[in-house]
Structure 1
Amino acid sequence: MSTNSSFSRKDYRHALSRCINFFEGQRSGKLPANQRLKWRDDSALHDGSEENVDLVGGYYDAGDNVKFGLPMAFTITMLSWSVIEFGQHMGSELNNARTAIRWGTDYLLKTTAYPDTIYVQVGDPNLDHDCWERPEDMDTARTVYKITKEKPGSEIAAETAAALAAASIVFKNSDPAYSQALLDSAIRSFVFADKYQASYTTTVQGACPFYCTSNGYHDELLWAVVWLRKATSSMFYRNYILSNAERLGADKTMLEFGWDDKHAGINVLLAKEFLLANLSSMQEFKSNADKFMCWVLPETPNDHVNFTPGGLIYKGDAANMQDVTTISFLLLTYANYLDRSNQVISCGNVQVTPARLRGAAQRQVDYILGDNPLNFSYMVGYGPHFPRYVHHRGASLPSVREHPSHITCKEGYANYFNKDNPNPNILIGAVVGGPDHNDQFIDSRLKSGQTEPCTYINAPLVGALASLLAHRME
């Protein structure tokens, strides 16, 4: 795909197309004939064989070749929420977004197909991270990790339930049978998560230190229930929320939202029920959502979030853009709910309108796309200046079409990772970790915190870009 097509600095449609295209670069398994990133090829075609199960497919989470279940499920939840909330603004990209979701849910259906078992990871992360290999060349152990009733993992089972439930809404009209299969699996996954409560961080060797959960599994249980309520309208899930909200920490207004912490997303989703369905029982969640918005807006007296001098939300050096895109998504989603209910929020003496929330989110998205002190796009393939040394195995090594012979584990490090040559393959649409706290960026594969892309960075940006298409503010 050419990276030289014309665009405007705020060409959100162009950015949306590339943002969704990125997921094709992360695909694992047998690639379809219509695969657009042609430098990728089939990989990991025997995943699950050591357990005599089919675990082929799904997504690699970032620049490595491991399939981590928790961030993958969160990615699918956020892609689905993006379509549910803003799909009507995606135009021709809606079908591509659904395709990206289905690539993930087809895999999640495989992981949840067995009683009292969910397969949560494929690939030994220590061995994988010790190699620099194309996915097509992998010869490291494809170790299979699972949770069972003896060794449960409520956060990953519940996030899987949330992903499947959210996706069932996406496909409800276009493919009712598939939607029902997703919902049935979501219900089973939640029952499993709720019945056998424990953290997979402590029960699954291999989860840490890569995707450890720092705040337990209570937020994921509530997150799953919220999505199951949306997918089913069942009073059982509404009652579960009201009966367990305090115990599960629903009153927390954390300053982040991502694969590990769902509180802000829970509050925004349930605030919608107070704003648009007049459910007084959800008023507390609306108050929490208001508080979160006040905390992340720099012009309010209650702001608690740090910003770079150039105006980017800054939470830390490693994959900071995940916080930027998730928070931007929540700002735009909440603005949508406030607009539809003709409401504003008050942050001390500052009145915050939906337009103000959208403006704050737009500044973050525009920063990603090049409106920053370096005039540099952090989305690969968007604009003339973007990362060329992305920390990504497949992108940094020649494709099997260009270099058919096997590239060994250590050869990849010696001949490609440690060389000064830019990546031979353009990972179209990938959003990398981003600049440091002073808006400085080192484009180097050695700087994984700055140059590694992640599926869960792009997923909420899909919805944010679609929203900005509908509410363009110059």
Structure 2
Amino acid sequence: GGWYDAGDHVKFGMPQTYSASTLGWGYYHFKDAFQSAGEDQHMLDELKWFTDYFLRATFRNASGNVVAFAYQVGEGSVDHTLWAPPELHNLPRPAYFATSATPASDQAAGAAAALAIMYLNYNTVDAVYAAKCLDTARALYAFAKANRGLGYSGGFYGSSYDEDELSWAAVWLYRATNDAAYLTDITAVDGTGHYTGWLKKIIASTSDNWQNIWVHSWDTVWGGVFLELAPITNDPKHWYYARWNLEYWSGAPHVDPTDNTFLAGTPAGFKVINTWGSARYNAAAQLQTLVYRKYTGRTDFTDWARGQMNYIMGNNPMGYSYIVGYPSPAQSAQHPHHRAAHGSTTNSMSDPPNHRHVLWGALVGGPDTTDLHVDTTSDFVYNEVAIDYNAGFVGA
């Protein structure tokens, strides 16, 4: 189970758990859209491929406590020495485990979030399987709390800290169980109003403000945390944190009329926070605006999200879609940085000159701040594809 990360053959823990939870997040809120499109079962199958993997990767003792969680398979620095499809991959693939001696609470908490969301999405499909997901989610979260530390990635997906993943897991466990202890883990304060829960990582006290320029992504899921936390607590501060992020991205007026802090766009108006995989961040921001609209009924960001998606779909200065195969292979990026789609048998990114396979529906990296995109197999900044790229995009 599980998926290779991107154009390579490593199962990295951070994007794996992020992608599973974010894909599930989109399905949780917009299930009717997937049903209308006839993609309901497809989505459930994709989600279960993730969660089957997390269940198998979780090792528990006779008391039910987690003793190990396998969060990475493969080594990026080794894998990247070979340009070949998976059937020709013959390099060593070490596995990395979170244990009490080698903690990876960021990875374990991320998996807990994905499993808790799967419980909510799957409970009416298979209650027994859903219950197993929830039970494992609770155990993984407890394991992460008791064994703090950041997992290994070989320099490819280094996590900044674990409090955001712990908060992401806790908010979904609260939704799944209605156990207020999970909320307390996030929002606890002392007698002076200073945070003692997970929020203390980013906010000192309940009287302080915080403004998040980053979007919900593999290394920081605060955007998602506050969009789910605010409707539960109805704390004006939590709503402010959730909304400010969307105002910053979209250019919609801030609640504070004196605040003119906005993310710059390309000449054509596409918002780029990072050139490497710009479309993934943009698509995740679109998903956030849609979740906000669902919870509040407000349409402040709807036109912005639609315009950004139209850009991704081909209404851009390059004149083609950043979704491989849409609306046709000839009208989209044709050379994604992806070993299996390219299909080289000679360890060369230029052989064959054209891909053997169409990687239908994959979101390539996207443009830079000048609207330029390079549709070349060797360019992993503009043209790689990855599971975390598509995770937010599918929900948007």
Task: Find the counterpart in structure 2 of residue 258 from structure 1.
Answer: 217
Sequence identity of aligned pairs in percent?
Answer: 30
Correspondence for 2:125 among 170, 174, 180: 174
Deviations 1:293-320 (A, max 9, x none): 2211224353431211111111122111
Q: 1:123 aligns with which of 74, 77, 95?
A: 74
Q: State the match for 1:388 in structure 2.
A: 334
Residue 420 of structure 1 and its aligned partner are, at CA, apart by 6.8
How far, CA to CA, are the matches of 2:230 and 2:169 in structure 1? 16
Query: Does 2:185 correspond to 1:240?
Result: yes
Structure 1 position 245, deviation (Å): 4.4
**What does residue 24 of structure 1 align with?**
none
**Per-residue CA distance 1:141-198 (angstroms, 9 max, x = gap):** 0111111101101111111111111111110111111101101111111111111111
Contact 2:105 2:150 survives alignment (8 Å): yes
Deviates more, 1:117-126 or 1:298-307: 298-307
Which aligned pairs between 1:403-422 and structure 2 lie closer than 5 A?
A: 407=345, 411-413=346-348, 417-419=349-351, 421-422=353-354
**Alignment length, in residue pairs?**
368
Task: Give 1:231's match in structure 2, choosing from 172, 176, 194.
Answer: 176
Unpaired runs of 5+ in structure 1? 1-56, 274-278, 340-353, 399-406, 465-474
Are positions 1:58 and 2:2 aligned together? yes
1:375-414 deviation per Cα after TM superposition (whole angstroms, max 9, x unaligned): 210000102411111100000016xxxxxxxx4xxx222x
> Cα offset for 1:269?
0.8
Q: Is 1:183–2:134 an aligned residue pair?
A: yes
Q: 1:165 to 1:109 in 2, by over 3 A?
A: same
- Cα distance in 1, alignment partners of residues 304 and 103 from structure 2: 40
Asked whether the equivalents of residues 297 and 303 of structure 1 are also in contact (C-alpha less than 8 Å), the reply is no
- State the distance in 2 between where 1:190 and 1:79 align: 20
- Partner Cα separation in structure 2 for residue 234 and residue 297 of structure 1: 35
2:167 to 222, 227, 230: 222
Relative contact order, higher structure (CA 8 A, sep 6+):
1
Runs of 5+ in structure 2 lacking a partner?
61-65, 189-196, 204-208, 254-258
Matching of residue 322 in structure 1 with residue 302 in structure 2: no
Could you tell me which amino acid in structure 2 is paired with residue 234 of structure 1? Answer: D
1:37-436 to 2 correspondences below 5 Å: 57-91=1-35, 92-114=38-60, 115-200=66-151, 204=152, 207-214=153-160, 216-243=161-188, 244-249=197-202, 252-256=210-214, 257-273=216-232, 279-280=233-234, 282-300=235-253, 302-339=260-297, 354-384=298-328, 385-397=331-343, 407=345, 411-413=346-348, 417-419=349-351, 421-436=353-368
Asked if structure 2 preserves the Cα contact closer than 8 Å seen for 1:70 and 1:159, the reply is yes
Contact 1:147 1:153 survives alignment (8 Å): yes
2:374 equivalent in structure 1: 442
**Does the aligned pair in 1 maintain the 2:59–2:67 contact within 8 Å?**
no
Report SS of the residue matched to 2:70: strand
Which residue of 2 is the match for residue 52 of structure 1? none
| CA distance in 1 between partners of 2:261 and 2:58 (Å) | 41
Asked if 1 retains the 8 angstrom alpha-carbon contact of 2:14 and 2:110, the reply is yes
Q: 1:287 to 1:387 in 2, by over 3 A?
A: same
Task: Output the CA distance in 1 between the equivalents of 2:211 and 2:46.
Answer: 31
The one-character-per-residue Cα deviations of 1:5-40 (angstroms, maximum 9, x if unpaired) are xxxxxxxxxxxxxxxxxxxxxxxxxxxxxxxxxxxx
RMSD, aligned CA = 1.6
| 1:308/1:438 contact within 8 Å kept | yes
Question: TM-score w.r.t. structure 1 length?
Answer: 0.75
2 CA distance for matches of 1:171 and 1:299? 36
For 1:182, the aligned partner's letter is C
Deviation for aligned residue 1:221: 1.1
